[in-house]
Amino acid sequence: MIRFRFHRCIPLLGLLTASLLTMVFAAAGCDRSGPVRVGFSGCMSGRLSDLGIAGRNGVILATEELNAAGGLNGRTVKLLTRDDHQDPETAVRSDRELIEQGVVAIIGHMTSAMTHAALPQLNREGIPMISPTATSNRLNGLDDSLIRVMPPNRAETDHLARHAFHNLGLRRMAVLYDLSNRAYSEDYFENFKSSFETLGGRIVHVDRFTSGPGTDFSELGAGLLRPGLDGLLLVAGGMDTAMICQYVRMYGIDLPVISSGWAMTKDLLHHGGRTVEGLVFSHLMNQDSREDRFIAFRRRFRERFGEEPDFAAAHGYEAARMLFRGLQTTKDPKPLKQAILAQDSFFGVQGDFSLDRFGDPKRDRFLTRVRNGEFKALE
Q: Residue 230 pLDDT > 90, yes or no? A: yes
Binned at pLDDT 50, 70 and 90, residue 374 comes out as very high
Q: Where are the domains of the chain?
A: 31-151+292-362, 154-283
What is the length of the chain? 379
**C-beta atoms surrounding 106 within 10 Å:** 29
pTM for the whole structure: 0.87
Interatomic CA distance for residues 249 and 342, integer angstroms? 50
- Range of lowest pLDDT (60-69, 76-85, 169-178, 221-230): 221-230
Binned at pLDDT 50, 70 and 90, residue 24 comes out as very low
* Average pLDDT over every residue of 155-178: 97
Where in 245-311 does DSSP place strands (E)? 257-259, 280-283
Considering the domain delimited by 154-283, tell me its CATH architecture: 3-Layer(aba) Sandwich (3.40)
Backbone angles phi, psi at 374, to 5 degrees: -135, 160
Q: Residue 14 pLDDT > 50, yes or no? A: no
Binned at pLDDT 50, 70 and 90, residue 32 comes out as low
For residue range 283-311, what is the model confidence (pLDDT) as tens digits? 998 888 999 999 999 999 999 999 999 99
Q: Residue 144 pLDDT > 60, yes or no? A: yes
Interatomic CA distance for residues 347 and 317, integer angstroms? 10
- Range of lowest pLDDT (93-97, 198-202, 343-347): 343-347
Binned at pLDDT 50, 70 and 90, residue 47 comes out as confident
What proportion of the chain, given as a percentage, has pLDDT over 70? 91
* Topology agreement, domain 31-151+292-362 and domain 154-283: yes
Interatomic CA distance for residues 4 and 162, integer angstroms? 59
Interatomic CA distance for residues 258 and 335, integer angstroms? 41
For residue range 100-112, what is the model confidence (pLDDT) as tens digits? 999 999 999 999 9
Helix (H/G/I), strand (E/B), else coil: 178: strand
Interatomic CA distance for residues 247 and 220, integer angstroms? 8
Domain spanning 31-151+292-362: CATH 3.40.50.300: no
Interatomic CA distance for residues 368 and 371, integer angstroms? 9
Q: Residue 2 pLDDT > 60, yes or no? A: no
Bridge pairing between strands 172-178 and 36-42:
unpaired
What rounded mean pLDDT belongs to the chain? 91
Q: Residue 56 pLDDT > 50, yes or no? A: yes
Contact 164, 196 (CB under 8 A): yes
Q: What is the pLDDT of residue 29?
A: 45
Q: Residue 7 pLDDT > 80, yes or no? A: no
More confident residue, 285 or 234: 234
Interatomic CA distance for residues 89 and 306, integer angstroms? 33
Binned at pLDDT 50, 70 and 90, residue 31 comes out as low
Q: What is the pLDDT of residue 287?
A: 85
Interatomic CA distance for residues 252 and 47, integer angstroms? 26
